[in-house]
Amino acid sequence: MAVGISGSPSATSKSRVLVEHALAQLEARGAAVRLIDVATLPADALLGRGSASQLTDALARVAEARIVVAGTPVYRATYSGLLKVFFDLLPQDALVGKVGVPIVTGHGVAHSLALDHGLRPLFASVGATVIAHGVYATSEQFADGTPAAELRAAVDRAVREAVALASAGSD
């Protein structure tokens, strides 16, 4: 099982499109997949002001997954607050034995280190084994509203790395 976590509040999110592309690739390889769009989860529960079955279910799906794809826009030079509140609700060591696939979209290249200095340590903080090559994309790479071929290829490579790592981990 693979889950994709989308941490963008945008209805036309570029990072979510890349997460969906990764999930489609994983599904084509036989994985059961599930998209968790954090923006659609109840805000009070996300902020710890109560509980909600949708949130409990989303956290359970993460617990079942072998591969966890996380996508986020760059906000203020790092991952979105929306993604962070979801990760804050994961138990310590929630992603031990799981493979993390980081995907980040920013307007330009200036904040591309949000991938390696933001999302990678966020994954590591809950124990995930993170693939070598995450994906960072700029607005330019969505020129006609869809991801450029080289960007789709970068996501495909990330998926191949994740599948290889997940298989190695099951020995």
Name the residues that contact ligand FMN, by CB under 6 A: 8, 10, 13-16, 73-77, 105-108, 110-111, 139
Residue 151 to residues 125, 136, 148, 156: CA-CA distances in angstroms?
Answer: 27, 9, 5, 9
In the complex, the smallest distance separating the C-beta of residue 104 from ligand FMN, rounded to whole angstroms, is: 8
In the complex, the smallest distance separating the C-beta of residue 76 from ligand FMN, rounded to whole angstroms, is: 5
The smaller minimum CB distance to ligand FMN, of residues 15 and 25, is found at 15
Residue 87 to residues 24, 33, 153: CA-CA distances in angstroms?
Answer: 23, 19, 27
The smaller minimum CB distance to ligand FMN, of residues 56 and 139, is found at 139
The smaller minimum CB distance to ligand FMN, of residues 14 and 21, is found at 14
* Residue 9: CB atoms within 10 Å: 15
In the complex, the smallest distance separating the C-beta of residue 106 from ligand FMN, rounded to whole angstroms, is: 3
The smaller minimum CB distance to ligand FMN, of residues 103 and 165, is found at 103
In the complex, the smallest distance separating the C-beta of residue 171 from ligand FMN, rounded to whole angstroms, is: 36
